[in-house]
Amino acid sequence: MEAKVTIGIPGRWQSWPDLMQEVAEKSDGYVLAGHTLYDTKRELGFGLDVYEHDPHLMEAFTYASRTTLPQGLLEELRQHACTVYVTAEVGSFEGLQRLVEAGAALLRAGGMAVLVETAALAHTKDAWEELLQEDELLPFYAAFVALSGDEDGYSSCGMKAFGLPDARVPATLAPEEAVVVLNGFNMYRIADQPIIEDGQTVSFDDDSSYSTHWTEDDRYETDHAFYNPFGMLWVEPVQHGIWGRMKGMLKN
């Protein structure tokens, strides 16, 4: 199974011909053909849609960046003429690298910034360009996977980009512990690619163990950008020495 991951890139392109010309001249090997952004070097196509000016786009970027984007960029985003949305069926590290390259091509052609629609994460041009130089998993994980919490627990959003279920931990964990467990468990699954069956107990550090339970992703409707078709893995601590050690270090 593969899942669709979508990124949005606003720009000042005033028309379709303007966008086509800028991409052809400045993207270094990409062209627009109908509703496809085509990588002529690798012979890969990405789904493409263009939407006119969105008066709420700046607010979306502000939320997705957790208010870390420079104010100057936010003001620039207010002046965008349209937003180009690129969709790829990924599910692997290599697939994400190709999508990042496609996004960078649009940035070179006049794009302002990147919004990962499938996880509500915003990135500046410079941050996105830095991903092109990365061959490690962690920066890509941070770029495509977000964490959030509610009264029922804490969960990740965006693991479908790696072809994996999202993870959820109970609200009984402290927020700091939830972050450690979710990130550790997710990176363990991406890097080691273990086969985790429903009801299995797993360990991804020296002396911690967790029971797992698979469910459908019932947080969102199936057509929602955040919905994960691979489902959700509930992660319940059985023995969590990693957090105990960290708390001991903090006390000292």
In tens, the pLDDT along 118-167 reads 999 999 999 999 999 998 999 999 999 999 998 889 999 999 999 999 99
DSSP tally for the chain: helices H, then strands E = 8, 13
The 10s digit of each residue's pLDDT in 102-125 is 999 999 999 999 999 999 999 999
CATH code of domain 4-137:
3.30.310
How much is the pTM? 0.90
- Residue 42's contacts (CB-CB under 8 Å, 6 or more residues apart) are 98
193 burial level (CB within 10 Å; 0-12, 13-18, 19+)? exposed
Tell me whether residue 197 is exposed, middle or buried, using C-beta atoms within 10 angstroms of its C-beta: 0 to 12, 13 to 18, 19 or more: exposed
Distances 71 to 7, 59, 68, 87, 129 between C-alpha atoms, Å: 21, 12, 9, 28, 20
Rounded CA gap, 53 and 12, in Å? Answer: 9
In the chain, domain spans: 4-137, 147-251
Return the bridge partners of 153, or none: 150, 170
